[in-house]
Each structure stands twice: as structure tokens, then as C-alpha cells.
Structure 1
Amino acid sequence: MPHAHARVTLAHEVDFAGWRTATRRLVMAGQPAGRIAWRIDARMADPIEDQGAEAPEGDPFHVSRALLDLAETVIQARDPDRFALLYRLVQRNAAGERDLPTRTDDTDIARALVLAQAVRDDTARLRAHLELPAEDVAIGQWTSESHVLVPNARFLTVQRSLRPWAVSTPDETLLWTGRSLHLLPPGTAPSALPTDRESWEGTGLTLRPADLPRPALRLTEGLDIARIDSLPALIAAARDCLICAMARQTTQTVFSDGRPGAALMLVGEQPGDQEDRVGRPFVGPAGQLLDRALHEARITRDAVYVTNAVKHFRFQRRGTRRLHEKPTVENVTACAPWLAAERRIVAPRVLVMLGATAAGAVLGRSVTIGRERSRPIPLADGSTGLVTVHPSFLLRQPDEDARTREYARFVADLRLARDLLPAATLPS
């Protein structure tokens, strides 16, 4: 018996979650690609249930990661046949054509690759040329050859340091209230944006980031880190950082621990094995020793901003173990924009450099700890720098006498840092 004609209505042009759900159901039901009508709900309201789709009859199937990645990009193209093209590719992949994503001579794949490249080009153009005013509330216009605005909402939000914005295109208006993301029909750009989410309940379609396709470019590509003036936005951007290859080998970006406005900043070298797993700096043995030393110096860690010059764990694998490896100059250089932004946003009065790598990153030159330790160094931003050892240096001492002696010197350096602060700027 031939399959009935299926009608699928997606909530908006890049409703990737809706397309995936419908595609999985229809492929399992054996629905031919030519008997599916794909349409977009012009109201931009809640998604409409598929009509005419049979209940799944087949076995669950697996789609290759490469094909899903391609689909996430292609769905952003301005081509009315893209939904059918992608459905056809998934159906073929599920039927056993496992190498399909690599067959560039295949007609469907070739077409998908052309569309994907157009989306990448348009994404780069949007990031380079969509200028939003620097005011607390920004309203802009954009004309796009692809449907790349919605997938790049996070980029725009981070670039604007999480402040509200709205961008109108001939197809839609995208609104970020400061708390939630909304898609409205074209021509509905507000003249003023409320920052409370409740004011926009029921307005247009509230978008969940998890339902949207990822942008064709990484978040940090085209991002002007120097324009970000909010620590939460900076951390959000750094999570996706792939500036250096080292980031691809670690569990996650390990950014910082602390708050803007902290009078004292501590900069270490890089996260270690435990920090990489937990996602916070200085939580391993060196961090525990640092906490103890801060306590003895009458410094509360909660009142200090703690970070590293390098945001990923560089290591060598030995069996099941990951052994620390000193970061390269290239690693430090790659992370330099993040550290510069942290210093600008936090604006500490005193900056303590824990070890030679941190000192070199802050001072921009080679540093010998023995020559520059324990003396105030004026920094270009008006703060005062202080060089000392990294806590891991204390753990490497050969005997108890050496550990006791070096630990006392380290605590003395932290006390000096505290004394360099104006009175009452650092709670005990």
C-alpha cells in the first residue's frame, strides 16, 4: 500500500529540532522523500504536529556525526528544497550508505556541500559587518543570503556582553531581552526593549538554544574579545575557544574563579588534571596548598580573582595517566586575549604572578623568578604586579626543611600583596 502524503510544519526556518524529530519518525516509517511536504509556520508560534505521518514501523537507526554536522549547516541555507535534500541523505545513510558524507561526487552530497559553504560565507559576513550600537539596548537591521541570524544569536549576545538587542531582517525579527530569545514576524522590531522576561511571554516564539542548529563557524571566530566587558559573557565565549589545537585534547576550558571588582588577582600557569575535570582553577594539590597559604596570609579566597595564563590543560599521556607538560609560547600567546580581557574587566589593584609562565604572560618578557620575586612592579594599567613561585614549586621540594622554608617565603609574598592594597579593600 503506498504511503500517504505527509505534511510537516516547522516552527521557523532553522527549526533543526523539529526537522530531526520529523525526519526520524518518517524515515522509520519508510516515508519516501518525494511524498513529504515541508512548510514553515508563518505565525512563528508554537510548533505544529506533523500531519499525515505514519507511526514508526522500522527499527531505530544511526546517523553519522559527519552527516548531522552537515545537516546543521545546510538547514541554514536559503533553499526551499533543503529539508527534502537532507531527509534524502538521512534516509540513504540509514539504509546502509555509511560512507555517504565522504562521497563528494554524489549529487546530493555535492549540492549539500555547496549550500554549506554558502552558509559559512554568510556567517562570516554577518559577524564581520552586522554592527550593533554600543548602547545598553541595540536595534539593528540585516539582509542575509542565508538563514544565519538565529544560529548566531549566541555570538551576538556574547559580543554585546549579554545586553539586550534586536535585529530585523526581511524574514523575521530576532529579539534578545537580556534573559530570553524570541523570534517575531518581520516588521515587528520594538522601538524599546524591556529587560524583564515576563513582558515578552506569549510574544512570538520563545527559542530554546538547545533546539537551534549550531552556527557554521565556532563562537570565537570573528569575535572581538576586546569589546566584551562582562565576565559572564567572557566565560561563555571562552567555553568554545579553539584558538589553539591544545583545546581539542582537553575536557573543557578552565577559565577563572572569582568576581569582577576583586582587588587582588592571582594568575597561575595552566589548569592541571583535576582542574580540567572539574572546570575550576586551583582545585588540585597545588590549589589546596594555595588555599592554606592564603588563609595564613589572612586573605579570603572568595575575595580574590584566580585565573591562569593558559586556559587548557597541556599534558602527555602515559597509559591512563595525564602528566603535566609546560605550555608553549604559542599556547600563552593564544590565550593572551582572554587574560587581557580578564584584567580589563576585573581591574585588580594588585596582580600576583604565580610562576615564570604567568609572569611572562603578564609582563610580556622572559622572567627569572629569583631576580624579580617579592618586589612590587608597576604595571601599565596602573595596578601593581608581584612575582612569586607557583604553589606546585613547593610540592616539588626535595625534603621537609626545604618545603617549610619555601612555604614560609610564599606566605610572606602573599602578605606583601595584601599590604600593597589600600586599607579595607580586601576582607580577611
Structure 2
Amino acid sequence: MTDIARAPTDWNSQAMQRRIRKRYAAERRFRLIGLGAILLSAAFLAFLLVTMVANGARGFTQTEVRLDIDFPASDLFIDPATLQGFGADAALAGADLDGTMRAAARQRYDGMADGMLSDAAWLRVRERIKEDPSILGGTATFWLPASDELDVAAKGDGAPEAEAVHARLEAADAVRTGFNMRFLTGADATDPTVVGIWGAFKGSLLTMLVTLALAFPVGVLSAVYLEEYAPRNRWTDMIEVSINNLAAVPSIIFGLLGLAVFLNFMHLPRSAPLVGGLVLALMTMPVIVIAGRNAIKSVPPSIRDAALGIGASRIQVVFHHVLPLALPGILTGTIIGMARALGETAPLLMIGMRAFIASPPGGITDPATVLPVQIYLWSDEVSRGFVEKTSAAIIVLLVFLLAMNGLAIYLRNKFERRW
């Protein structure tokens, strides 16, 4: 017989001491492995955030070039009287503002004029004239968006020719780089110097509102019925298995379902937040049902027994006692499901929400796109200016997701009850 067999409680024996040392060594190794996993995850997260912020911070800025336009000396002729009221757009439609602007640039900057200004710079000239038609009577100073090449060069990553042009403009105090408010208030465009994120952001908001309005009530009521009222038989077991399987179905399958049912069969408007919300609601609903059932199941049976004991009906027990106690878990699961839906791209591509949308949607039936799809479309552009705009849009999406997760934590803490 060994020492352990003869004296199982002899902690001073050599065999027991070896076993204790091995046990402690294994515990230390496990702690080090766990710490290493956490540090590795934190390093990847920090690398992602630093890379996105470093590339995307430049997307929130814009380079502008100063240009003085002498309207009386130009070939442009617009009667200021026609710019009053609703006829301003029609009066400016036939004016060669782009030619006037580029002629002034050639006169002011000589050889640097070509490729110095954005293709959409004339739009800012038009907006200024609409705001103040009196500038047509003299010389006006404009700060116009620089071209894509000059903008990249101003941020320290351009071609040598563009950097030389920027250096000469900077010496003449004719260039500046500042915060690009249009990026937060504009919509999509073919020119990276004038694109904005508001159109896609509003499309995401409208799509999420439709998703929440459909998925939350149906999901919560389904969870209540399955957990509190449904009999335990073969059919309810089949429904539970189906819901669990739906939660694991690839999202593109829901896109194919939306394409077949909502577009081809029901003929709903293509590329609309209404259809996108319906598709994402189908995808989010199983997650809400599962989270709701787990939250309802976590309520102690004593709560139900006490409510029934004082004369409450079955529906009063559920809606006055069980649901308020399960609400934190339900809301947390709902927000997590909505956050997953916010980042989806594949199902929305299937229903056509990848169209070029030049203006923000006005309602849930107007053509729209969403932030993930907008990021996907910009990442596929050839122009270098879209690279930093893509990273900036990713930052906006991450902030939106963090806000939703923060809302989930706040709601959980606000409605949490301890017993």
C-alpha cells in the first residue's frame, strides 16, 4: 500500500505534497492562460479602435481653397430679381457656375487651377448666391472644397505634385483644413469631398424603428405564451426547436425570404426602410423570444404563487408581477438583437437597399440605405478619398452600437428589482 492509502489525511507526506504542488501549478497555468487570453483580446480591440480612429479622424475634416470671383468681370449674367422666391433654382439652372468658378481659379492661381477644386465646388457657389444675390454685383470670396487629391495631400498622404500645390497655396494663405460638418448632415455622392453620412444614418434609424415596432411586441408576447400558457406537448416542443433554429439561420436567408415575399409577392417598395425593417424583424424576433423566455423563467415561482394566493388572476400574475421582474432581461436581449440587426448587410443587399441615394429618406416607404451598406459601397470605390470616409462611417456605426449597448445597461439597471 502507498503512503496515500495508509494515511489519506497525512498532508506532510511526500506524495501528498507532490499532488498539492501539481494542483497549485495547474491553477497558476490556468490563470496565466486566462490572463493571456484577455490581454490578447484587449490588444486586438485596441488595434482595431486605434486603426479606425487614426484612419477615420481625417474623414471628419475637409480642405478648402479660397477663391475670389469677380462676377461683373465674368461672362456670367444672372438677373438678381429672378433669384427672389421660388424661382431661384430655375434661374440658376442654366448658369455656367462651374465654368465661372474655374475661370476665376485659372486667373487667380494660374497653372495650379487644374485639379485644385472639387467637381462639386460649384454647388457651394450656387448656395451662396441663393442666400445673398447681392454678391453678383461685385467680388465675393468663397471657401470651396478642394479636390480629392489636394485634400489627401493636405492631410499628409498625397502625391508629390498635389503636395507641391498645397505648399504653394499654404504659403499664399489660401488653403485651410477644418471640421467637415457636411459629412454629418449630407447624403451620398459620387465626389468623396461632399459625401455625408446623414442619409444612411436616417435610413438606419427608420429601419430600426420598423424592426423594433414589429419584433418587440410579437417576440415578448410569444415568449409569454410559450412560457406561461402553452401546454407541454409535441407541438410546443417543435415550435421551441424551430425558434432556436431560426436564431442560428444565416442572415442572407432572411434576405432571400424578404425578396420572395415582400418584394416579389406583396410588391412592397424596393429599397425602403419598411421592407428592411420587416426582414430584420424576422431575423431579430427569435433572439427576443429566447431572451424573453429565459428572463421569464428566471422569475422565482414563489412570486407567482404569492400573487395567486391573494386572488390575482392568471393574466394579472403575468402582467403585474412576472413581466415587470423579467423586463430587464427582456430589454437587454432586445437591445442586443437590435444591435445585431443594425450591423447586418447581406439581407438588406438582397432587397435592394444598396441603391445610390442622394437625399435622406422622408419616410419608411422612401428609397434609403443603411450605415453598413453605405460602408460597403464606399469601401468598393476607387478614389482614395473614400478610404477615410469609410473609416469615419465605421466610427459612426461603432458609436451607434456603443450607444445601444449603453442603453441596454441603463435599462437593465433602471428596471432591475431584487428579491
TM-score > 0.5 by shorter chain: no
Normalised-by-shorter TM-score class: under 0.3
TM-score by length of 1: 0.25
TM-score by length of 2: 0.25
Which has the larger Rg? Answer: 2
Pick 1 or 2: higher relative contact order, CA cutoff 8 A, min separation 6.
2
